[in-house]
Amino acid sequence: MAILPITICGEPVLHRPAEPVTEFDDELRQLVDDMFETCEAAPGVGLAAPQVGVGKRIFVWMYDDQDEAPARGVAINPVLWIAPPEPGLPGEDEVEGCLSFPGERFALRRSPRALLRAVDIEGKPFEHEVTGWFARIMQHEFDHLNGLLYVDRLVHPENRGAQKAERKNGWGVPGLTWTPGIDDLEG
Ligand code: ZN
């Protein structure tokens, strides 16, 4: 097990669609173990493979708040169905963060419900129907597999804040990472 460096906005692997997983082998098992360890150390409620520099359709979640899905899990080659979000601007309780845009938070409206279908580490299909924060986490992580960060979805004026933060931090260029436990940052 190892804590992996987390890619920061601007690293190309975060901004392109990830590839499906085809081999369910020891290498995959190792990667997923390391993703759990990295997510826990960050700490985060979810982590997608592009965030550790791997362009594969994998994300993990660690969110122990309801019984719609296990408190931790891995989704491989997922598909996600969502109901359209309610129209209107996001409220203050809809603030999101991302380990690849660390230390910043912005409000974003998400769908209150999502249905996740994926396979597990053995390649076995499963599904979870989730609501509220769980649904938000699934949408956030699923976006990562399609090359989207939550900051790409922000609407005015939140998007201005994110652009400012990106400039201030010197992000938006390739090659930047931070490592939980080594660098003093948090998601
Ligand atoms: Zn993220």
Q: What is the pTM of this model?
A: 0.95
| Domain presence at residue 186 | no
- State the DSSP code for 183: B
Let me know if 37 is a catalytic residue: no
Mean pLDDT computed over every residue of the chain: 95
Catalytic residue selected from 141, 158, 166, 186: 141
Q: How close is the Cα of 132 to the center of ligand 1, in Å?
A: 17
User: What is the residue range of 18's domain?
Assistant: 6-178
Express each pLDDT in 95-123 by its tens digit: 999 999 999 999 999 999 999 999 999 99
* Residues less than 5 Å from ion ligand 1, measured at CB: 98
| Domain presence at residue 1 | no
| Domain presence at residue 17 | yes
Q: What is the pLDDT of residue 73?
A: 97
Q: How close is the Cα of 48 to the center of ligand 1, in Å?
A: 7
| Domain presence at residue 64 | yes
- Give me the helices (H) in the chain, please: 26-41, 132-145, 158-169
Q: How close is the Cα of 17 to the center of ligand 1, in Å?
A: 14
Identify the CATH number of the domain in which residue 173 sits.
3.90.45.10
Residue 48 has pLDDT above 80, yes or no: yes
- For residue 93 the two structure tokens come to 């309780």
**Which residues is 59 bridged to in the sheet?**
48, 75
Q: What is the mean pLDDT of residues 55-76?
A: 92
Q: How close is the Cα of 23 to the center of ligand 1, in Å?
A: 25
| Domain presence at residue 164 | yes
- Dmax (CA) for the chain in angstroms is 46
- For residue 174 the two structure tokens come to 């390739």
- State the DSSP code for 4: P
| Domain presence at residue 172 | yes
* Number of domains forming the structure of the chain: 1
Q: What is the C-alpha to C-alpha distance for residues 157 and 96, in angstroms, rounded to an integer?
A: 15
- Cα angle: 111, vertex 165, 9; to 5 degrees: 70
Q: What is the pLDDT of residue 186?
A: 53
Q: How close is the Cα of 56 to the center of ligand 1, in Å?
A: 15
- CA distance to 50, 142, 176, per residue, from 93 (Å): 27, 21, 30
176 exposure class (CB count in 10 Å sphere: 0-12, 13-18, 19+):
middle
